[in-house]
Structure 1
Amino acid sequence: MEQYKVILVDDEVEVIDAMQALIHWDELGFEVVGSATNGVKALELVEKLQPDVVLTDIKMPYMDGLELARRLNKDYPNIYILLCTGFDEFEYAQEAVRLEIKEYMLKPINASELSAGLTKLKDTLDREREEKLNVRKLEDYFKEVLPALRSNLFVSLIEGRISEQEYQRFLSAYRVEMQGPLYCCVIFHTSSTHVPDGVDPVLLSMSVEREIKERLATEWKCQEFIYLGNTLLIVELEMEEKIAELTDACDRFCRWAYRIMGAVVTAGIGRTSDSLFHIHLSYEGAREAVSYRVLYGTKRAISIGEIVPKEQNLTIQAEETRMQELFRAVHVGNQEKIEKAVKKEIEILHKNADTIEQYRLATMEIVSGFYRFCVNNSIDFNGISKDMQSNYEKVPEMDESTLAAWLIEVSMTISDMLKNARNSTSRRLVTEAQNLVKNRYMEAEISLDEVCSVLGVSNSYFSSVFKKETGKPFITYLTDYRMDIAADLMVNTNDKSYTIAEKVGYPDANYFSYVFKKRFGVSPSKYRTKYLQK
């Protein structure tokens, strides 16, 4: 075992030599690593050699042993101090006690007395070393399991299973240092049905998770973990606007994963939360976003804040949890899933209702659930199914098939209204983009990135919506708009080609001519000549 290091301090060199010669240091478990004749030199040695024990005289020049002990206690509290002196005075002993000196011995010290003191000290040092080793082992083990503990914590948070009282305690215990100020949940769902031939779906999912760690978790401040077979990120964001940038980064990853690995990955991005305690709300939004892949396609990122108008509320209220599967199907707008969820609701209804009164109460709760859902999504439920009082009276009287038909009809009607609201939002977004082009087509710096920044949406979502609404990519639309203006100027003005190029946002006249010819089949000058000859 490694020996404990000792420094001897005495203003008499003969005393130091005698202690080194008479004491069997190595047999006692110690090694004398240095010596000094006063406290000042001793401090220099301590800083350099980092000993375990300092054995010092009291009466010395420049700095006595008591002052040395005070300095050591302040700066090196783990060093043990042994005092030996020829002065048998009460104040010295009293000060030694106050400084918590382990041994106080009077000169002349014989070898057996000092050896006994060192043996006693070694037992103390051994116990402390063992305790430190045990603590270090525990600390190493804690560090080893910490990632798993954090994963469990985040799973509990997204499931909403941690109370507000426990929340801060767990963050501190598991050393979670996430400053936010905003947090966002991202779910990466890897399809288990669309995989390359001969590839195990589980191994593919694990490969995707590894790449997410390397490509995204290092780029964004976040915590990464696995939940229900999906890879999740809890991302820290400086501001709300960063969510569009995050969506684009996730979208690039999804396209890369399919191109390189053949993995069909869909990323769902929830809305931001101002506290990790409320991250379950962002998680619910991310889940909803992933479910929209049936409408918007896979191999891409979908942000719930972009596809659902702000006035629509996807968060399922506590009293609606029983009907949450049906409401999820309503949001997505899939009739098959709606019919399946309705069937399940009716099965639950008949299973739990033992009396006619329980059945009536349960059906009225279903009506109330629809009403609350519509209120949360800014929809007038009375306009869908007459007035509330009529529903409360008629629905409990319906037989099983009539009730199922009513539930499906109401669900599909609400779903269509939600879809129309989303389409209206998409059309409004495209109109705003077209107005930007109209007002700023002459600016050379106008681009897809610039437009998305102004509109506050991700490139991936905007590009998808714009092409769906107009039938062409945004850059193509911008180029066509500029070329139409250029063609008009070419015919109705005498401006030079390079002047027209600058007026429509092309500082490079040669590139302008290339784009113009690609659009109209002839150069700008020939286009003008051809038109004037008519």
Structure 2
Amino acid sequence: MIKIMVVDDEAIFREYLKSTIDWASYGFTIVCEARNGLEALEQAELHVPDIALIDINMPYMDGLELAGKLKEKDRDMGIVLITGHSEFEYARKAVRIGVDDYITKPFAKEELILTLLKLQEHILQAQGARSTVKTQQELFKEQLLVRLLSSEYGARVEPTREQLAYAGMQPYSGRFKTAVIEIDNMDQRWDEVGERHLWRFAVSNVLGDIVESPGNHWTVLGPEGRIVSVVEFADTSSEREFDLAAYDKLCVMVKKYLKFTITVGIGATHTGYAGIQMSYKEALLALQNKFVLGGDRMLEYEKHREAGSNIGFYPTEIQEALLLGLRSHDEAKVQNGLEQVARYIREQRLSLDYAYVIYMGLISLCLSYVTEAGHHIGDVFGEGFAPYNEIRKQETLDDAYRWVNELYAKTVKATSSGRMTRARQIADAAKSYIETSFGNPELGVESVAQHLYINSSYLRSVFKKEAGTTVGDYIVGVRLQKAKELIRTGQIKLADIAEMVGYNDPGYFSKSFKKHFGMTPSEYEHTMRK
């Protein structure tokens, strides 16, 4: 949609412009309006419109002056002046400023539409060109960083420098430090993949604002849902001055404003493009200490190197075999995979603390599969299930092994049975109640949850997962579908239908109907009559 700003000191004229044209059908949307030039500059900063419709005669700042200031900020913004003047002098000034067109009052709406459509193609082409270049650069930059993190990357210097230049980055000293950010208990917080991606993106944005480097700073969404931050120092002095406290500040800001916690692993500084991958591996090792020291903090590899010298990674093939066993409900295959992990712990002579690191990874794998299979964790293991607390209560490695074994056995049994999950039962019961109570104007998430005797937050989570939509959207859908059926009878007034399906305000009913079906109730009624 092309974004339009309307600037006119007459409220009636602004309202006329908004209501007289079906903007969306032409590919436009009015994003803001202003009474004068000063307000317009503020609104333009906030909403970044593509086109400004400006009246010439306004208090504080006339339209020509405003047009000039807007063009200074954004040369690509389309400017259309609306004026009662038709003098040549105004037209000449307007062209000099960079105004794209002007129309004189009074005018027909068709004249305005044609004027805007002439601008539309030019704006779309400019947007497309900017977007394509930016998207290609960002995508290439991300792919390049992912390759540099990979052990498969040869890290040849000259080709890498050329690729960095293409991605819009200036190669500096070749000294790199990597940080890996992990959202604590992410799988338990959000069932939906989209939600997890949204929160990772939010953390990544905060990270970009907080970490300042007099060199390059990349961020990318890395493997296993982690965020990777790579800093290249401009020179040796900037390396000495780089403040790792920025990552501590990131932990504080995320906890305060996003209301969850993160843990940051920091690798040592290394030279050369191959050093990026080395620093990345060290950051992952540092991150594993959170299972011993706790999350919601920054963990530096160099500080914990000696304590963690006996850490290792068990082969990923074992993890893949475990997941395959869970998905095929093969208890023997699952048992075999767990035995291989236990054997690895014994052969590597890992300490109890670092054995817990591995077992907690196994717990995470198991819980992720339960969610993937469409089951609620509380249904399988009971409400209030706290696995990370339970595993820490086990006093020996054998105790921990038995406990994890039981966890996987319960999972295989629960996910292989064909019975309807409690989550599905709750979603179906909620749908049934909504379909019989849609006429109640007070119907909402809280009243549905109260009827089912469950927590409203739990209902939201379960319903979205099972029904693929929110409770609120489902209620609206049922109401409007019922309204459609009643309109088709041709025997009931639209105002009465609105009340029958739970809308106290006929105007809001009409607006919701049009948003849902693309036409107003009266237009639909007229169509049915024809």
Which bin holds the TM-score, normalised by the shorter protein? 0.3 to 0.5
TM-score, normalization by structure 2: 0.33
Structure number with larger C-alpha Rg: 1
